[in-house]
Amino acid sequence: MPRYKLTIEYNGQLFVGWQRQKNGPSVQEAIETAFAAFCGHPVGIRGAGRTDTGVHALGQVAHADLHRVWRPDVLRDALNAHLRPNLVAILNVEPVAETFDARFSALRRHYLYKIINRRAPLTLDCGGAWLVKRRLDADAMHEAAQILVGTHDFSTFRASECQAANPVRTLERLDVERHGDTIEIRASARAFLHHQVRSMVGSLEMIGAGKWRPDDLRAAIEACDRTRCGTVAPPDGLYFVAVDYGEAAPDGPE
């Protein structure tokens, strides 16, 4: 069966998350429904990472196995037609080898968290950013963030319902930059724990507001205790940006 890699963008506000669930519409369900409508048979897809209710994606990746070969541009356009009016877009489709797996072949995942730091309410960014009215020191947030970079037990920064067997992760990047009223926090790692990015962002916000010092953040991660985590940032500002794969991944049917 030919396998295809999909690059996907979506607005997560109206979804219960990426994965199919019984309590509401998911992004996975929307795409699988579009596949079935176009292909005439059920198609299951596997995503590179799960996103929660309200979380967005600029470059989620999934793969699907089909019963026949399709031209990538035809498949992309057909899926987008069947996805309307869902706020989900298939940005790109490419054939890949049957050994490619959107989840397990991933070498690195990239996330962005967006804070709007101003007194005025959100308009264009409503549902797409965390509005923080108190002034934040982005430089202090970036400096403190480097405490979390590297290999650590991130038990403090994962959800209580996280199902990962091992809380140890290697955080390759955690950068904080201000652009006017916008503060962007970018995180990269091979894998993340459930709520890890939002938990780290919430604690960094406390640093920026002067409520925590860097030593407080260091003590929090060293405690390996969920109760030591700062405020968990809301899902609105979180974006699954991209996934890195090895050079040999794309090599499927023409």
3-state SS assignment for residue 13: helix
Q: Is residue 186 within a helix (H) or strand (E), and if so which, with residue range?
A: strand 182-189
Question: Cβ distance 150 to 171 under 8 Å?
Answer: yes
Question: Cβ distance 159 to 168 under 8 Å?
Answer: no
From CA 19, how far away is CA 17, in angstroms rounded? 6
Please give the structure tokens belonging to residue 191. Answer: 């894998």
- Our answer to whether residue 52 is catalytic in this structure is yes
DSSP state at residue 182: E
The residue to which tokens 């968990």 are assigned: 232
Q: C-alpha distances in angstroms, 194 versus 10, 81, 125, 157, 162? A: 19, 32, 24, 9, 5
Active-site hit among 52, 125, 153, 216: 52
Residues classed as catalytic: 52
